[in-house]
Structure 1
């Protein structure tokens, strides 16, 4: 598993390594003894015990057998899968296409009651229009060179996921950078429809919609996009992959960052004015293009 900057992922790896080292000690074995029983180099057992190299599932099975603790195998392999899942590369997540990645998150959305989303790149998926989602996922497919073309199915899955916006007693707080209103995803017509939809979503009583204005003297700079699910989990979309954070201290850091960005945002009529200005700029762009032609 690639080493993540997140301490959640690293702590999960360290906890697994500590447990494997404990099994070794309980069996009265040294790292050298265990390596000999498993047919490994001594450095391999040392790297695993010190969390420098993550074990494979087969490594864990061999380790437990060597320590006479076969009954621990299933639990430790499950711990390995949990640690691996805290940081997933886009290539791995999307190897079977985009639809699966969309569907995999639905259970998390269904069990969450309070959503907080911040986006500095794109409109949050929960409030995207179908044409906007199609343009965004088509761009992702092209940029990442995905062989499987299931964009239409992935769009359907995302639209299905949006139903939680209108179900139950959930609360949503969306923060977007003003630049997101002006990014030309899908062209002027798609953006015009998306901006109209954004204004409509902002009128829902259980939704808070904030726009962080562009300014030369900001107190808190833009960050990577992230979602906070209740107070239990944060997901961060990085250029290289998808990060899941569950450590309470780290979740609290993202909640604090969200609060700081929310304090910079404008809401209500002020947010609608920024949306209207972005919509007007689309018309000016069309006029410019027509004049050039």
Structure 2
């Protein structure tokens, strides 16, 4: 598991652990006695109770049954699943391929009115061309060992991009200049992608800022890719997992980070010049 720690995720996991500890204490059992009843190594109950090891649904049911509190298992399982959904490994999200993951996000994009995003590695999905998306998703699928449904996943991603042209949505995105320089696919694919960015920048619903390599007085360090959906949630993309942030205090921090990053970005003619320069470099 990644070393990333979200206060919201950790708090949810600690709450589950605290409830299990309460169940054990009410039963008058020591941690060792509980482990014996469950058929576990003696340290397992301690790891679960101290939120070092997230319990499985089966672990929770065994714990409650051993404590004579089987009727509490369902509620604790539900709380544990909520905590677990905040940190979801890509291998779980992608176990049936990439298409379903792309499609599952469509309702969230459709209902979001104010979308803000920051990309430090690759072009944001909403702005990708089919060729660029195909090159990127094929690498992602191969790296994570997912079933090869790249063509279907690309079609789903292109379908999602229709929100750029429909409804009353606003899209404010920031990319590091390095995103324009990292080549995904062959030279023709990258040149086409950069040209598409120039077209996207002209859309009335889109604000695209580029943070140049030489940004003066850089007030924020380079961060992991994140997307803010209204004030509802934030998705943070790690190598191993997607972290979903829903705690208002944490969302506020990402909004603050976006504002700081936006101060360093170039827009309009200056941003277009950076994209044009990147196209020339590819050529």
Do both proteins adopt the same fold according to a TM-score greater than 0.5, normalized to the shorter chain?
A: yes
CA contact (8 A) 2:94 2:146 kept: no
Moved more, 74-83 or 256-265: 74-83
CA contact (8 A) 1:4 1:87 kept: no
Q: 1:71: how far off? A: 3.1
**Which residue of the partner structure matches residue 164 of structure 1?**
163
**Which residue of the partner structure matches residue 238 of structure 2?**
238
**Which residue of the partner structure matches residue 272 of structure 1?**
272
**Which residue of the partner structure matches residue 6 of structure 2?**
6
Q: Indicate the SS of the match to 1:191.
A: helix
Instruction: Tell me the distance in 2 between the aligned counterparts of 1:234 and 1:186.
Output: 29
**Which residue of the partner structure matches residue 173 of structure 2?**
174
Q: 1:141: how far off? A: 2.5
**Which residue of the partner structure matches residue 121 of structure 1?**
121
Runs of 5+ consecutive residues of structure 1 not aligned to the other structure: 284-293
CA contact (8 A) 2:216 2:264 kept: no
Q: 1:240: how far off? A: 2.6
Q: 1:216: how far off? A: 6.8
**Which residue of the partner structure matches residue 189 of structure 1?**
188
Q: Indicate the SS of the match to 2:209.
A: strand
**Which residue of the partner structure matches residue 138 of structure 1?**
138
Instruction: Tell me the distance in 1 between the aligned counterparts of 2:146 and 2:25.
Output: 48
CA contact (8 A) 1:86 1:243 kept: yes
Q: Indicate the SS of the match to 2:43.
A: helix
Instruction: Tell me the distance in 2 between the aligned counterparts of 1:192 and 1:44.
Output: 54
Instruction: Tell me the distance in 2 between the aligned counterparts of 1:124 and 1:105.
Output: 14
**Which residue of the partner structure matches residue 43 of structure 2?**
43
Q: Indicate the SS of the match to 1:131.
A: helix
1:3–1:136 distance in 2 versus 1, CA, 3 Å: closer
Task: Return the TM-score normalized by structure 2.
Answer: 0.90
Task: Return the TM-score normalized by structure 1.
Answer: 0.87
Instruction: Tell me the distance in 2 between the aligned counterparts of 1:48 and 1:142.
Output: 34
Alignment of 1:1-293 (within 5 A): 4-144=4-144, 146=145, 148-215=147-214, 217-219=216-218, 220-283=220-283
Q: 1:106: how far off? A: 2.3
Q: Deviation string for 1:4-61 (max 9, x for gaps)?
A: 4222221111011111122233444443453344344443222222212221111111
Instruction: Tell me the distance in 2 between the aligned counterparts of 1:45 and 1:248.
Output: 32
Over the aligned positions, Cα root-mean-square deviation in angstroms equals 2.2
Instruction: Tell me the distance in 2 between the aligned counterparts of 1:222 and 1:89.
Output: 23
Q: Deviation string for 1:200-225 (max 9, x for gaps)?
A: 22122221111111117551232211
Q: Deviation string for 1:76-124 (max 9, x for gaps)?
A: 2222222222223333332222222222322322332211110111100
1:257–1:147 distance in 2 versus 1, CA, 3 Å: closer
Q: 1:266: how far off? A: 0.9
Q: 1:134: how far off? A: 0.7
Q: Deviation string for 1:213-253 (max 9, x for gaps)?
A: 11175512322111111122211222232222222222222
Q: Deviation string for 1:116-166 (max 9, x for gaps)?
A: 11011110001111111011112223333x252110011111112212222
1:102–1:72 distance in 2 versus 1, CA, 3 Å: same
CA contact (8 A) 2:24 2:30 kept: yes
Q: Indicate the SS of the match to 1:121.
A: coil
Q: What number of residue pairs does the alignment pair up? A: 282
CA contact (8 A) 1:3 1:10 kept: no
Q: Indicate the SS of the match to 1:123.
A: coil
